[in-house]
Amino acid sequence: MTTPTTLSPPAAAPAPRADVGRPRLTFGRLLDAEWTKIRTVRSTVWTLASLFVLSVGLTALICWGVAGELADDTAGEPVGAFVTWGLMFGQIAALVLGILVASAEYSSGMIRTTLAAAPRRWPVLAAKTTVLTAVLLVLGAITSTVAILAGNFFLDREGIGFSLTDPDVLRTMVGGGLYLAVLGVFGLALGLLMRHTAGAVTVGIALIFIVGNLVGLIPGATGEWLTKLMPGNAGTTLATVESFNPDLLGPWTGFGVFAGETALLLLVAGWLFSRRDA
């Protein structure tokens, strides 16, 4: 008599892993996502267009208007301060763009989707900063160069133009891109800190344009140094052939101070970003 063989039930198939078939989230993918966001938002196009038009158009207009006075030396102003004069207003667009890169996602609620897809927040911030910096660096250098060419056209007609191979002119062409890129990151940090577009724009414009001039009213060496160290005053000298205020820090020294201030602000914003709820 044979004993029936007991057959063991087949082993259950292992449950499929949740991440099978899902593309690995790399920093390159984060960069691609941020690039898609920044180039597909209509406000970005208008902001960048206004940066270029204001900077170039106002520079050409002011150089056309004051070239005769500068040639006669009746204006008493440094000629090189006018060949990127419009950048004083174009820089507002760079600041606003940086703020929008951070704050617009909070306004729309898109930040929850972003953080659900990429829970690690420091790489998200790094991707935003990298894309914004690259965009403004390229556009800023192009804008500064075209503004110099436009303004110099009218100065040349009065015999007071600059050679495009002048070291200060070449430095300004590159410096315009560097300054606007860091200014955009400054705006990004403000937007991330405040998470409110209108509030961040108000604070940013006040710091760059208003407070930087008001601190000069403080008497003595304190007022002088505060004026030199304010973000707009420190950074903008790199983006001008000559400064209206000769007492400000030198171009590269001032830019180093501005970059350090921006890095510190970004670190604080990133620390809060990594801990606050979306």
Residue 159 CA to residue 167 CA, distance in Å, equals 19
At residue 74, the pLDDT reads: 63
Nearest residue to 250 (alpha-carbon basis) of 238, 263, 239: 238
In percent, the amount of the chain with pLDDT more than 70 equals 90
Domain coordinates in residue numbering, the chain: 42-273
Q: Provide the residue type at 212 as one letter.
A: G
Please say if the pLDDT value at position 3 is more than 60. Answer: no
Please say if the pLDDT value at position 243 is more than 70. Answer: yes
CB contact at 8 A, 63 and 151: yes
Q: Is the dihedral of CA 267, 270, 274, 277 positive or negative?
A: positive
CB contact at 8 A, 150 and 59: yes
Residue 251 CA to residue 237 CA, distance in Å, equals 5
Please say if the pLDDT value at position 135 is more than 90. Answer: yes
Mapping DSSP to helix (H, G, I), strand (E, B) and coil, where does residue 81 land? helix
Residue 273: half-sphere exposure toward Cβ, Cα within 13 Å: 31
For the chain, the average pLDDT equals 86
Highest mean pLDDT among 37-41, 59-63, 162-166: 59-63
Please say if the pLDDT value at position 53 is more than 90. Answer: yes
Maximum Cα–Cα distance for the chain, whole Å? 126
CB contact at 8 A, 77 and 71: no
At residue 18, the pLDDT reads: 46
Q: Which residue has the higher pLDDT, 12 or 59?
A: 59
Highest mean pLDDT among 6-10, 100-104, 228-232, 259-263: 259-263
Residue 233 CA to residue 28 CA, distance in Å, equals 35
Measured CA to CA in angstroms, residue 94 lies from 16, 67, 74, 107, 140 at distances of: 47, 28, 34, 19, 9
Please say if the pLDDT value at position 226 is more than 60. Answer: yes
Highest mean pLDDT among 46-50, 134-138, 244-248: 134-138
Instruction: List phi, psi (to 5°) of 243.
Output: -95, 145
CB contact at 8 A, 48 and 139: yes
At residue 36, the pLDDT reads: 86
Q: pTM for this structure?
A: 0.87
Where do runs of H (alpha helix) occur along the chain?
27-40, 42-72, 87-108, 110-117, 121-157, 167-194, 197-205, 212-214, 220-229, 231-236, 251-273
